[in-house]
């Protein structure tokens, strides 16, 4: 089934300037059973909450949508809102998963953050909803 104008009713960020608001836009899921979506984000940046130094990571998100699918440009803009935010790596995985639960309301979501080596230690954290 092709994308319809009705599917685009709630899309406001695609084609518009970046917004500092941490929201996720959605469009309808045309396959309410059997669809799993994988997002692979390779250029994530945030800041250490203590030193303010930049941290770099890759983020993988797997979710099983119910009614809604995240619109990818809004997800990109969402990730950009963390650029100047101080956040511990483990908290980031939880925060993203909770935002997915709020905005997308999927059946399940798994978020894995893989931070680059810093001071000889690489940190990876995974948060999974039931």
How far, in Å, CA of 104 to CA of 65, rounded?
7
For 9-55, the pLDDT digits (tens) are: 878 766 665 556 789 999 999 998 889 999 999 999 999 999 999 99
The rounded distance, in Å, linking the Cα atoms of 65 and 34 is 9
**b/e map 14-44, b = 16+ CB within 10 Å:** eeeeeeeeeebbbbbbeeeeeeebebeeeeb
Catalogue the active-site residues: 48, 55
Q: How far apart are the first and last CA of the chain?
A: 30
pLDDT for 48 equals 93
The dotted CATH code for 24-128 is 3.30.1130.10
CA distance 109 to 89: 18
């Amino acid at each position: 089934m092709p994308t319809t104008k009705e599917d685009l009713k709630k899309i406001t960020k695609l084609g518009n300037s970046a917004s500092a608001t941490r929201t996720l836009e959605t469009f309808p899921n045309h396959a309410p059973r059997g669809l799993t979506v994988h997002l692979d984000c390779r250029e994530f940046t945030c800041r250490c909450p203590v030193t303010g130094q930049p941290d770099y990571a890759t983020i993988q998100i797997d979710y099983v949508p119910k009614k809604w699918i995240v619109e990818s440009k809004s997800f990109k803009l969402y990730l950009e809102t963390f650029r100047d935010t101080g956040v511990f790596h483990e908290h980031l995985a939880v925060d993203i998963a909770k935002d997915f639960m709020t905005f997308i309301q999927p059946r399940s979501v798994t978020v894995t953050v893989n931070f680059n080596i810093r001071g000889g230690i690489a940190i990876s954290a995974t948060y999974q909803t039931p």
